């Protein structure tokens, strides 16, 4: 088959008219495009799409041409600077350049390298403008417990993490983010995104969002159901609002996509509402313009809640944002193009494709009370963005099928809400049967039984203290990867006292939050989580599949025992760890930082006398290098820097990932010209010291062989500065 296909392709190339290149129609179209081209042009037309949305009247009268014209234009690239304020206070930037132009233009090569490097180091996020809206409308506070139900690839998750860390002086906020995704492989993309921000308050889990398990936590020695203060419900959708960047949607779009996804979206939203705390806020969002995926889901959820949920009026929360109110009336189109305005008119043969929850409520009073106009629909031509839909729901009381449950541990109605849908839900993209959602009473005592079962398992002596492994289910071994356990360091572990002494850790250091990923052999790496996530981990190991949590704070050296401490500091967790370290801290100047970041093992004599006087009396081993800004010198860098380093025999080296190193150099005004060179090389503009040979290595024969040996042993331990995130 492969040989035949290649033969056909060769024949087609020979038959092309002269001047026709890259498969483009019209002769020199691709030649004119230059670096832009490469793929056949997709015709940006879909008559069914146009007919459908013109009939539904989601676009204001007289604006249809502008709407379609905007959809056919490439989506502008946008980026968000990592920060903890609201946008667009100069922390979110909108360009007039498409992603393709940024990637392919020779003139923008340096700018593109800058974007990639800063994104990898977590300082910016390249995120679509409308995608930033749902986290903003959640109004997150640092103490909030947050669930992101369909989190991959993770751009919204990183926003939520940033909001938790609004106070940079607090290493461990009281809140946390549990980021979930049904796709095991996409969970690792989510881990990569979250790791850029180095937060101890994020946990990535792998579950079907429509049946995500109810978790429990320990409160004063009692097991209580975990309810979330904020829930982001950014559900899988047909994605017709993304036509500007996903141009395949033009030829693939049909009404069937929405009909198939509606049931899944409603089940996910229902499960989210069940797990929301009273007074909490849930944002439901899609990148679809279709009311079957948008208003129909919200209307059905509100109707089922019987007053437990209500739509919040958020019209004043994002001033400057242009949006259209939700629509109150719509109709449903079947796969063959036939319209239905009422469920009663749908023939029995179509009942598997079209469901009653897809239609607006018949009762005018009930419809008016829902306030569907409070939903937000963002149209592409209004602010040169993608299309999007957002609805903000506030929970007033328990869902009606939870109110009849017996009290759990004497708690209020808020914590009695613990119904769970049947786990046998259809997979994403399949037609859903809403009848399963209309009879929730069958699971009224489901979570109570789960908690009792978990307590029995924990009390039967088979579960090891402090070990949080994946659920011991055969099903988990069949799907996805088997994860290593999460093992908390016990109080009497001999591993910790040498670390505590070597770094003079403050008595307030929460050592109970340290964990490893192995139950046997040497512990290679130590991670840290917040105490709230520790509580979640310890009380839910039997029902939750955790992919990743915690930030790396220490790595083992193979030869570390020679230096009084077997573990060196890891840059990933240094900003969390630094407030607790009282020893082995060297304060460096801005010139010292430049030298340390551009030369691999600079001798003490290359550094300032102040730095040398601090380093000369320290024993060999891991150190903290701290730069404090000088407010009197406004030309100097005005933000603090904390780096991990190694004090060798006669030199100091840093252990900073490449992209973070480039970031610090940029902030100090150093022209970084060697981004693609091997890590550790000196930028050409910085080769000013005659004692180097141009490679960053001293030409003195008394080179610090001990320092080089230490660097090798560190890397051999699987703990290099730019190593992959732990699995």
Domains, the chain, ordered by start: 47-75+222-399 (3.40.50), 151-208+483-580 (no CATH), 584-670 (no CATH)
Structure tokens at 241: 């609002």
- C-alpha–C-alpha distance, residues 503 and 246, integer Å: 51
Radius of gyration (C-alpha) of the chain in whole angstroms: 29
Task: Identify the pLDDT of residue 6.
Answer: 52
The residues of the chain scoring below 70 in pLDDT are: 1-40, 79-80, 82-104, 107-126, 168, 403-482, 559-562, 672-727
- C-alpha–C-alpha distance, residues 660 and 21, integer Å: 42
Beta carbons within 10 angstroms of residue 345's beta carbon:
14
**22 annotated ligand-binding residue:** no
Q: The tokens 């659920």 sit on which residue?
A: 471
**724 annotated ligand-binding residue:** no
- C-alpha–C-alpha distance, residues 504 and 508, integer Å: 11
**592 annotated ligand-binding residue:** no
**630 annotated ligand-binding residue:** no
Q: The tokens 């506070």 sit on which residue?
A: 141
Task: Identify the pLDDT of residue 196.
Answer: 83
Q: Is the dihedral of CA 400, 402, 405, 411 positive or negative?
A: negative
Q: Which residues of 547-562 are buried (b: 16+ CB within 10 A; e: fewer)?
A: bbbbbbbbbbbbebee
Task: Identify the pLDDT of residue 434.
Answer: 36
Taking Cα atoms as reference points, which of 471, 472, 464 lies closest to residue 546? 471
287 is catalytic: yes
Structure tokens at 585: 């801290």
**248 annotated ligand-binding residue:** no
The model's pLDDT over 460-515, given as tens digits with 9 standing for 90+, comes to 444 455 666 544 443 443 344 567 888 999 988 899 999 999 999 999 999 999 99
**152 annotated ligand-binding residue:** yes
**482 annotated ligand-binding residue:** no
| Cα angle 436-440-446, degrees, rounded to a multiple of 5 | 115
The one-character DSSP state at 45 is: -
**154 annotated ligand-binding residue:** yes
pTM (2 d.p.) = 0.77
Task: Identify the pLDDT of residue 105.
Answer: 73
**606 annotated ligand-binding residue:** no
Q: Please, which residues bridge with residue 394 across strands?
A: 281, 310
**645 annotated ligand-binding residue:** no
Q: The tokens 């290359």 sit on which residue?
A: 606
Structure tokens at 381: 């031509």
Name the pairing type of β-strands 176-180 and 145-148: parallel
Task: Identify the pLDDT of residue 691.
Answer: 32
- C-alpha–C-alpha distance, residues 350 and 359, integer Å: 14
Q: How many CA atoms lie within 13 A of 410 on its CB side?
A: 2
Instruction: Tell me, letter by letter, the H, E, C secondary structure of 77-112.
Output: EEEEECCCCCCCCCCEEEEEEEHHHHHHCHHHHHHH
Name the pairing type of β-strands 145-148 and 228-234: parallel
Task: Identify the pLDDT of residue 540.
Answer: 92
Catalytic residue among 187, 201, 237, 287: 287
- C-alpha–C-alpha distance, residues 448 and 437, integer Å: 20
């Amino acid at each position: 088959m492969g040989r035949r296909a290649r033969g056909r392709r060769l024949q087609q190339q020979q038959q092309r008219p002269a001047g026709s290149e890259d498969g483009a129609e019209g002769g020199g179209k691709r030649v004119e495009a230059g670096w832009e081209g490469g793929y056949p042009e997709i015709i940006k037309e879909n008559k069914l799409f146009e007919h459908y949305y013109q009939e539904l009247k989601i676009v204001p009268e007289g604006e249809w041409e502008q709407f379609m014209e905007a959809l056919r234009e490439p989506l502008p690239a946008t980026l968000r600077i990592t920060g903890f304020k609201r946008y667009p206070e100069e922390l979110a930037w909108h360009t007039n350049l498409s992603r393709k132009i940024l990637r392919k233009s020779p003139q923008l090569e340096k700018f593109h390298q800058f974007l990639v490097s800063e994104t990898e180091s977590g300082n910016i996020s390249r995120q679509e403008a409308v995608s930033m809206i749902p986290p903003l409308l959640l109004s997150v506070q640092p103490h909030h417990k947050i669930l992101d139900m369909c989190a991959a690839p993770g751009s919204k998750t990183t926003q939520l993490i940033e909001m938790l860390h609004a106070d940079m002086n607090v290493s461990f906020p009281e809140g946390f983010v549990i980021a979930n995704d049904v796709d095991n492989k996409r969970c690792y993309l989510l881990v990569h995104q979250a790791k850029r921000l180095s937060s101890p308050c994020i946990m990535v889990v792998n579950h079907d969002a429509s049946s995500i398990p109810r978790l429990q936590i320990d409160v004063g020695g009692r097991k209580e159901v975990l309810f979330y203060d904020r829930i982001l419900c950014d559900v899988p959708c047909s994605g017709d609002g993304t036509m500007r960047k996903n141009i395949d949607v033009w030829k693939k779009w049909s009404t069937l996509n929405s009909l198939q996804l509606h049931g899944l979206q409603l089940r996910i939203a229902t499960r989210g509402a069940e797990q929301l705390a009273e007074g909490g806020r849930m944002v439901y969002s899609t990148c679809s313009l279709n009311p079957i995926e948008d208003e129909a889901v919200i209307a059905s959820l509100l109707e089922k809640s019987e007053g437990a949920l209500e739509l919040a009026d958020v019209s004043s929360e994002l001033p400057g944002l242009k949006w259209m109110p939700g629509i109150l009336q719509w109709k449903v189109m079947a796969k063959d193009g036939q319209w239905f305005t009422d469920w009663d008119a749908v023939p029995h043969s179509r009942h598997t494709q079209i469901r009653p929850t897809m239609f607006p409520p018949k009762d005018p009073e009930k419809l008016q009370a829902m306030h569907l106009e409070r939903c937000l629909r963002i149209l592409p031509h209004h602010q040169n963005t993608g299309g999007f839909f957002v609805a903000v729901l506030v929970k007033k009381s328990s869902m009606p099928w939870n109110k009849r449950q017996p009290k759990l541990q004497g708690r209020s109605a808020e914590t009695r809400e613990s119904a769970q849908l049947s786990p046998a839900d259809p997979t994403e993209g399949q037609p859903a049967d809403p009848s399963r959602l209309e009879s929730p009473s069958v699971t009224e005592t489901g979570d109570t039984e789960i908690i009792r079962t978990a307590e029995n398992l924990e009390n039967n002596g088979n579960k090891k203290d402090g070990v949080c492994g994946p659920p011991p289910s055969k099903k988990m071994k069949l799907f996805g990867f088997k994860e290593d356990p999460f093992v908390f360091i016990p109080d009497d572990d001999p591993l910790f006292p040498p670390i505590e002494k070597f770094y003079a850790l403050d008595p307030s250091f929460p050592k109970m939050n340290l964990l490893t990923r192995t139950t046997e052999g040497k512990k290679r790496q130590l991670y840290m989580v917040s105490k709230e996530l520790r509580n979640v981990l310890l009380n839910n190991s039997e029902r939750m599949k955790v992919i990743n949590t915690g930030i790396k704070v220490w790595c083992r050296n193979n030869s570390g025992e020679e230096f009084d401490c077997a573990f060196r500091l890891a840059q990933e967790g240094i900003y969390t760890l630094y407030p607790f370290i009282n020893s082995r801290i060297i304060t460096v100047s801005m010139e010292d930082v430049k030298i340390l970041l551009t030369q691999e093992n600079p001798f003490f004599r290359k550094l300032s006398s102040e730095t040398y006087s601090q380093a000369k009396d320290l024993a060999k081993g891991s150190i903290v290098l701290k730069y404090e800004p000088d407010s009197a010198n406004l030309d100097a860098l005005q933000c603090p820097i904390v780096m991990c380093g190694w004090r060798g025999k006669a030199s100091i080296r840093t252990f900073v990932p490449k992209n973070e190193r480039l970031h610090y150099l940029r902030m100090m005004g150093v022209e970084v010209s060697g981004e693609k060179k091997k890590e550790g090389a000196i930028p050409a503009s910085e080769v000013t010291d005659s004692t180097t040979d141009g490679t960053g290595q001293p030409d003195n024969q008394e080179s610090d062989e001990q320092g080089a040996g230490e660097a090798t042993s560190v890397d051999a331990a699987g703990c290099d500065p730019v190593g992959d995130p732990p699995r």
